[in-house]
Each structure stands twice: as structure tokens, then as C-alpha cells.
């Protein structure tokens, strides 16, 4: 049977000669074997170089990611006109931000005890889950600011404009001064509204709205 197969193959099978074998598309045909060897060597070096560059890029990316995970301050920088200063997740106790323009600034989860924001422009700023105990927010423009889950106890909010600010979750204003503050369209919990109505007084000098009216006090 083996002899029969060999006989049939010798008459019907065509084994291509070396001259008929196609060359790889990336390597041109050379009549000079030495030139062809040089081209193959150059291609090999190029592939190795690309592989080494890719490995270095992956390594650098891994190092950068590990740094961000190790130090949140490197990953989260405050936005807005205040600049690249880190203000998210930081201990900023007693920091003076008075009179500054801090539009859409990110203060999420920061400790801002006794911080001074008097007269600051804080439109759309985020104080999500921040600690503002004893902070001075008097005369501040806090329209659209996010106080969700924030601790705003014993803060000074006199004459502050909080129109459209968020105060969802466990936000607390216990012990805060709110004379002349404007709480128009602020979604307060009923217990917080009742508490603030007991101490509400004054008229906001910017909007002309009475504090009690903006709190929908009876």
C-alpha cells in the first residue's frame, strides 16, 4: 500500500520547488543572500524594539495607577478657578478661603472645620460628606452647592445664598446661624426644616427673600 501511495503521489502530487515558494510580504526578494540576511536581522531588531517599548509603557502605566491608588490626593485635584490645589478628601481645618472664587470646587469628604468661606463664590461647589463644623459661610454665594450628607453644624450661614443647593441624606444644620440665609428650593428633611424654622430670622440682602419664607415655615 505504501508503494502504491508513493507511486500515485509521484504522478499526481506536485511539490513546489524553493523558487516557487512565496516570500513573506514584509521581506522583499533579494538576489544577494547577504542583503536578505541583513534585512531579516533589521526586521528582527525592530520587532524586539517595539516589544521592549510596549513593555516599558505598560510598566509606567502600572506604576502611575499604583500611585493614584496609594495616595488619593494625587488622583483627585480640586477643579474650578481655585486651580490645581488638592481640596477633595483633605484636612483643611481652619483654611482661609474668604472672598475667593471657588465655582464648582470639589471639597468632597474634606474636613473643613472652622474654615473661612466668608463672601466666597461657591456656585455649584461640592461639599458632599464634608465636615463643615464651625465653618464661616456668611455672605457666601452657595447657589447649587451640594451639601448632601455634610455636617454643617454650628456653622455661620448668615446672609448666605443657598438657592437650589442640595441637602439630601443626613445633612445637619444643627446649631448653625442662619439669619438672612436664603434656602429657596433647598430639599431639606422635615426634621431639619422644623428645626431651622425655630431659629430662622432676617432677610437676605442679595435676593430680598425672608429666611422664614424660603424655608416654607408656617
Q: Count of alpha carbons within 13 Å of 211, Cβ hemisphere only? A: 21
Q: Rounded to whole angstroms, how far apart are CA atoms 205 and 193?
A: 21
Model confidence over 141-156: pLDDT tens digits?
999 999 999 999 999 9
What local confidence, expressed as pLDDT, does residue 86 receive?
77
Report the pLDDT value the prediction gives residue 172, as an integer from 0 to 100. Answer: 94
Q: Can you give the pLDDT at residue 128?
A: 96
Cα–Cα distance for residue pair 195/69, rounded to 1 Å: 41
How open is the CA angle 70-76-79, to the nearest 5 degrees?
Answer: 165
Decide: 183 and 196 in contact? Cβ < 8 Å: yes
Q: What domains appear along the chain, each with residue ranges and CATH number?
A: 89-218 (2.160.20.80)
For residue range 121-136, list pLDDT tens digits in order. Answer: 999 999 999 999 999 9
Identify the pLDDT of residue 150.
97
pTM for this prediction: 0.64
- The set of residues, in sequence order, having a beta carbon less than 8 Å from that of 155 and lying 6+ positions away, is 132, 133, 134, 135, 136, 137, 173, 176, 177
Regions in the chain scoring below 50 on pLDDT: 1-27, 29-30, 47, 50, 54, 59-78, 82
Tell me how far apart the alpha carbons of residues 99 and 178 are, in angstroms, rounded to a whole number: 19
Amino acid at each position: 500500500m505504501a508503494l502504491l501511495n508513493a507511486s500515485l503521489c509521484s504522478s499526481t502530487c506536485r511539490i513546489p520547488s524553493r523558487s516557487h515558494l512565496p516570500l513573506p510580504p514584509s521581506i522583499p526578494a533579494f538576489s544577494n543572500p547577504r542583503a536578505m540576511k541583513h534585512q531579516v536581522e533589521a526586521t528582527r531588531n525592530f520587532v524586539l524594539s517595539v516589544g521592549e517599548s510596549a513593555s516599558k509603557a505598560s510598566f509606567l502605566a502600572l506604576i502611575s495607577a499604583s500611585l493614584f491608588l496609594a495616595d488619593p490626593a494625587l488622583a483627585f485635584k480640586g477643579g474650578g478657578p481655585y486651580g490645581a490645589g488638592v481640596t477633595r478628601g483633605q484636612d483643611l481645618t481652619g483654611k482661609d478661603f474668604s472672598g475667593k472664587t471657588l465655582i464648582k470646587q470639589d471639597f468632597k469628604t474634606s474636613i473643613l472645620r472652622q474654615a473661612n468661606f466668608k463672601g466666597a463664590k461657591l456656585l455649584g461647589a461640592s461639599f458632599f460628606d464634608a465636615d463643615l463644623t464651625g465653618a464661616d459661610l456668611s455672605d457666601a454665594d452657595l447657589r447649587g452647592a451640594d451639601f448632601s450628607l455634610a455636617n454643617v453644624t454650628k456653622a455661620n450661614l448668615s446672609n448666605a445664598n443657598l438657592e437650589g443647593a442640595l441637602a439630601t441624606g443626613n445633612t445637619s444644620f444643627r446649631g448653625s446661624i442662619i439669619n438672612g440665609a436664603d434656602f429657596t428650593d433647598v430639599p431639606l428633611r422635615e426634621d431639619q426644616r422644623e428645626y431651622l424654622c425655630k431659629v430662622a430670622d432676617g432677610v437676605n440682602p442679595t435676593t430680598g427673600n425672608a429666611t422664614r419664607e424660603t424655608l416654607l415655615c408656617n
